[in-house]
Structure 1
Amino acid sequence: MKIKGLLLAAGLLACGTATAGPYSDSLSDCLVGKSTMDDHVVLVRWMFVAISRHPAVSTMATISDAEVDNANKQMAELFTRLLTVTCRDQAKLALKNEGQFAMQQAFQKLGQQAGSEIFINQDVAKGMSGITKYFDDKKLQELQSQ
């Protein structure tokens, strides 16, 4: 099916440097504006599961094959719903006028939105702030005096 190829080719939230066009912007606005917090949780869980497979972090999290499969299933259902129901008109126009790139740009923006919501969580912010106790204040202060 063509849409599967488009989603795969889009890199499913891969980072890109090109500028989005008006149709991908419209699709992005729809995806971000009409997706729910529950949708964002599905997306972030799917990203976490995928990232957890990388050798650099794979020893830090144990995620079963069943959990990976479930995250993939939920994400596929989310993509399908967003593209074929929630933002159908915008998706059709974006694909017609801007092609696969529109999908990449739109889902990248959705991923950024969902990810940013994770970082504003108090527990996440507290965990990330732990880095400050290891800063070399003296070296950082030297930056200001140079």
Structure 2
Amino acid sequence: MTYAVKILAVTLALVTAAPAVQAAPDPASEALSACLVRSATPKDRTTLIRWAFTVVARHPKVADLSLITDVQRQTVYKATGKLLTRLISSDCSAEARSAIATGGQEGLTGAFNALGQEALKDLMGDRSVQSSFGELLNYVDQGALLRALAGY
């Protein structure tokens, strides 16, 4: 595995495992962010969300909630690998080189965080996802929350 591929793999792992880090904006990373967001189609963003879902679903604390088969997982990984290859080697190659040169791994992490946030917006904006938030209120003691917030 080449150094650049290792950096990309570690970056993707960090992006999915850690909250966005607030750091001084790096112009090269910002340019890569803009390129990734501009270049990723709605289908591409869905591919990223599907990949993140399959990764998270492997965690023992939530694995019982998902029935992703090995074939499905490999299909998602293949599509995501193809997408990342296109984004980094074709659509945004100059920006990626510059981000790595000036910011190293952090330059990639910030850029992929931006793309991940855009993909998450698509997912969270879906009506069925939105209605699921409303369903949660059926199980919340709203009176207790109101009393706590009012200081009682």
TM normalised by structure 1 equals 0.92
Deviation at 1:68, TM superposition (A): 1.1
Answer yes or no: is 1:17 the counterpart of 2:21.
yes
What SS does structure 1 have at the residue aligned with 2:63? coil
**Is the CA contact (8 Å cut-off) linking 2:28 and 2:95 kept in structure 1?**
yes
What SS does structure 2 have at the residue aligned with 1:59? helix
Residues 1-146 of structure 1 aligned to structure 2 (within 5 Å): 1-12=2-13, 13-14=15-16, 15=18, 16-19=20-23, 20-146=25-151
Determine the C-alpha separation between the residues in 2 that align with 1:145 and 1:57.
35
Determine the C-alpha separation between the residues in 2 that align with 1:131 and 1:87.
40
**Is the CA contact (8 Å cut-off) linking 2:33 and 2:111 kept in structure 1?**
yes
**Residues paired across the two proteins, number:** 146
Determine the C-alpha separation between the residues in 2 that align with 1:56 and 1:39.
28
Deviation at 1:34, TM superposition (A): 1.9
Deviation at 1:17, TM superposition (A): 2.3
TM normalised by structure 2 equals 0.89
**Is the CA contact (8 Å cut-off) linking 2:12 and 2:112 kept in structure 1?**
no
Q: Which moved more, 1:6-15 or 1:60-69?
A: 6-15
Determine the C-alpha separation between the residues in 2 that align with 1:49 and 1:127.
20
Determine the C-alpha separation between the residues in 2 that align with 1:30 and 1:10.
17
Q: Show CA shifts across 1:10-41 (max 9, x none).
A: 14324242514111111011111221001001
Letter in 2 for 1:17: V
CA RMSD of aligned residues (A): 1.4
Letter in 2 for 1:129: G
Deviation at 1:119, TM superposition (A): 0.7
**Structure 1 or 2: larger helix share?**
2
Which runs of no fewer than 5 residues in structure 1 stay unpaired?
Answer: none
Which runs of no fewer than 5 residues in structure 2 stay unpaired?
Answer: none
Q: Which moved more, 1:111-120 or 1:11-20?
A: 11-20
Q: Show CA shifts across 1:59-104 (max 9, x none).
A: 1111111111111111111111001111111111111111111111
Identical amino acids, percent of aligned pairs: 27
